[in-house]
A and B are shown apart, each in its own frame.
Chain A
Amino acid sequence: MDRTLAELADSGDDRLVEIAGVTGDGQVSWRLREIGFCRGAAVRFVRRAPLGDPAMYELHGATLSLRRSEASRIRVRSRAS
């Protein structure tokens, strides 16, 4: 079952998951996909900022920070083993 990246961060789940897609089709979604949050990419939640938001994610060997509002647009699923 799909979850969002924000839900992943909320539950503190730091397993590697796969991106299923990005909700919405405006500029926000386009840019998130351009920077690598694209269907099929592997992503991992790393930690949240001291004040709870944003959160750090590991994507393609890089570390990126996303706010909750953006992370909740990104749907993820368990990686097919």
Chain B
Amino acid sequence: MTELVRLGTGAPSGRPTRIAILGAPNSGKTTLFNALTGHRAKAGNYPGVTVDRREGDLRARFTELSVRLIDLPGVYSLEPQSEDEAVAVRVLRGEFGEPPPDGVVVVLDATTIERALPLVAEAAELGLPLCIALTMIDELKARHGEIDLEVLGAELGVPVLGVVGNRGLGIDDLGALVAESGHWTRSEALREAAQADTPEQRFEWTYGVLGRCRRKIPRADHWSRRLDRFLLHPVLGPAVFLTFVALFFQAIFTWATPAMDLLSGMMDGLADWLLTVVPDSLPTRLLADGVIRGVGAVIVFLPQIVLLFTVILFLEGCGYMARAAFVVDRVMGWVGLEGRCFLALLSSYACAVPGIMATRTIPSERDRLTTILVAPFATCSARLPVYTLLIAAFIPADPVFGPFTWQGLTLGGLYLLGTAAALVSAAVLQRGLRRGASLPFYLELPPFRLPRPSDILLGVWDRAKMFLRRAGTIILCVSIVLWFLLNLPRRAADPELSAAANQQAILEGSYAASVGRFIEPVFAPMDFNWRINVGLVASQAAREVMVATLAQIYAHEDEEGEGLGGVLAGVGDGSGEPLLSRPSALALLVYFAFAMQCMSTLAVIRRETGKWRWPAFTFVYMTGLGWLGAWVTFLAATAAGA
């Protein structure tokens, strides 16, 4: 029997059966993929979350056979208009450097099946065995919609199953069905449907089939309509949004601080303890100052990262993202872009790399390129540690209004600055780039759905692990290299001087100091000292390295235990000069808002545009703007007597 199944799928033995998951955007493909494979691929309640193909093996509890599932980006039809759709179609047609799949699970959202069924007619044209998974049948019932699944199965001549992906209902049956893909038949009814050439003909077929299935279109979701009335209200909507965002920025300082202080105390304690129990030697100092204090300075920002991603994942899961795109589409129109560009920009606030990948959903080449080039201006999570450190040190925590302080407002202002830079650059670029063919803009607004807390927790957990992995790899490496550069060459200790003064002498004469002094003329207009310059050079590897570098450089000056921020803003290194003046600190913040300091982003720009020209352009343009912005800020702040 097993052998027959294998023969039936046409898969040569030794190779796993490959089953693709096809469906319209936001029909729930990735949720099903996760349920069937046990993966935790990112899903969300807005169209276009998945932009690449992704593989996973069917869980062993469904079958002993080797079945590989391929999750695809959502498509409205098999005539692709955007890069993500093209990926899906190329995989299905076997043009992706691999043979076509052995079968296809077509995922249809039961609440919008009228618009989804034509895709089945198109998929039948591929000539692959099909089965159909109807998702969100719980929502269909709740909204008083109906469909007879048995009749639908008989009409289409393929297996049809109703499932609720996020609650796991019907998943066992679907798993069993996928395991038995050899029994899926090529249906006669679908062969006829595949004859349709125009959308009109496919919809005529769809209406015919659904009519016989006693289909009743569900009512509009009551709660979504009510929430929309409120959230999309011309006055209330923006007011609610701004309040929420402001509260979030304030929370970064007010709520995350206790957790941060705890972590920071632990790191310092660990470093001090190490120095007391192990004889003082160079390797011990490398471990204590380079690794624990350097990397530790970044790890203390974990609470902020957790807070940021809890908010982002909630917004993505509940359906607000598409609404936000709907609200600002007009603004995007003034700039010359569309709502989908905004969705890609929004994901860039977590990290520009997935944000740039998300531009694959944008059909117009020109709009896509512009979005790729401006996405790195969005305030990514790597900027957050630098912002928080400098703001906490240099901006007073005086209350402005209610729970809001100058610190929260400054952070909000920096996010606004990045957004403004992205939009203005987009407007300029759109005038400079050649105009492509005009394509329609449409956006599906899914009903609001309450994300499951466990999904958010797992998502945040994954992001926290990613942050820690980054700290443990790239930031660790750079910190170690920096430690050597900051501590070499060695010089004989002067017995007349204190340990701290000797350390200071080594630091002043180190290789890193030479580098910092060498580039001093570049940043002299902003009055950055060589230590900041070393940080700026090092943060080209990753923005958070700035914090790690400063922590290492200033480790020995923190005699009163006032923390890194305290040292930066404190009275200084004995010469009576502050280590960083407030105008310089503001200039540094603006530099970080604009400058391109991320190798991964440059690499992904190269990959997605296929040319070196664009990462080079982005680097020069953004870093130039960063320098200019920092200089103007310094001048303005100095003039204002800040």
Contact = CB atoms under 8 A, between A and B. Distances in A.
A33 B114 CA distance: 13
B115 A35 contact: yes
Interface string B424-449: 00000000000001111111111100
A67 B326 CA distance: 10
Contacts of B446: 63
Interface residues of B, number: 51
A61 B203 contact: no
B238 interface: yes
A2 to B, nearest CB: 17
A63 B220 contact: yes
Contact of B330 (A32, A49, A58): A49
Interface in A47-66: 47, 49-54, 56, 58-66
Contact of A66 (B217, B331, B442): B442
B203 A54 contact: no
Interface string A22-35: 00001110111111
B207 A40 contact: yes
Interface in B134-177: 143, 145
A61 B228 CA distance: 16
A12 B198 CA distance: 32
Contacts of B77: 31, 34
B326 to A, nearest CB: 5
B339 interface: yes
Nearest to A33: B199
Contacts of A38: 199-200, 203
Contacts of A70: 440-442
Nearest to A58: B220
Given A28-B439, A35-B76, A63-B445, A50 B232 contact: yes
B330 A51 contact: yes
Given A38-B203, A53-B333, A63 B238 contact: no
Contacts of B63: none
B81 A40 contact: no
Nearest to B234: A50
Given A39-B200, A60-B114, A64-B445, A53 B437 contact: no
A56 B224 CA distance: 13
A6 B234 CA distance: 19
Nearest to A35: B76
Nearest to A32: B440
Among B224, B331, B441, which residue has the most Cβ atoms of chain A within 10 A? B441
B81 A27 contact: yes
Contact of B114 (A26, A49, A61, A63): A61
Interface in B186-231: 198-200, 203-204, 207, 217-218, 220, 224-225, 228-229
Among B228, B326, B329, B444, which residue has the most Cβ atoms of chain A within 10 A? B326
A54 B325 CA distance: 10
A61 B112 contact: yes
A53 B330 CA distance: 6
A21 B445 CA distance: 23
A75 to B, nearest CB: 14
Contacts of B198: 33
A56 B446 CA distance: 11
Given A34-B76, A41-B203, A54 B439 contact: no
Contacts of B233: 50
A63 B327 CA distance: 14
Contacts of A50: 232-234, 237-238, 327
Nearest to B444: A64
B348 interface: no
Contacts of B333: 53, 67
Contact of B438 (A28, A39, A51, A64): A28
Contacts of B438: 26, 28
B440 A31 contact: yes
A47 to B, nearest CB: 6
A60 B439 contact: no
Contacts of A34: 76-77, 79, 118, 199
B326 A49 contact: yes
A67 B330 CA distance: 9
A27 B238 CA distance: 35
Contacts of B597: none
B327 A51 contact: yes
B200 A33 contact: yes
Interface of B: 76-77, 79, 81, 109, 111-112, 114-115, 118, 143, 145, 198-200, 203-204, 207, 217-218, 220, 224-225, 228-229, 232-234, 237-238, 322, 325-327, 329-331, 333, 338-339, 437-447
Given A28-B438, A46-B228, A53-B329, 5 more contacts: A47-B229, A51-B234, A51-B327, A64-B442, A64-B443
* CB-based closest 6 A-B pairs: A60-B114, A51-B330, A33-B199, A62-B112, A36-B115, A50-B234
19 contacts: A28-B440, A31-B77, A31-B81, A33-B198, A34-B77, A35-B442, A38-B200, A47-B229, A49-B327, A61-B112, A61-B114, A61-B143, A61-B220, A63-B444, A63-B446, A63-B447, A64-B442, A65-B326, A67-B441
Interface of A: 26-28, 30-36, 38-41, 46-47, 49-54, 56, 58-67, 70
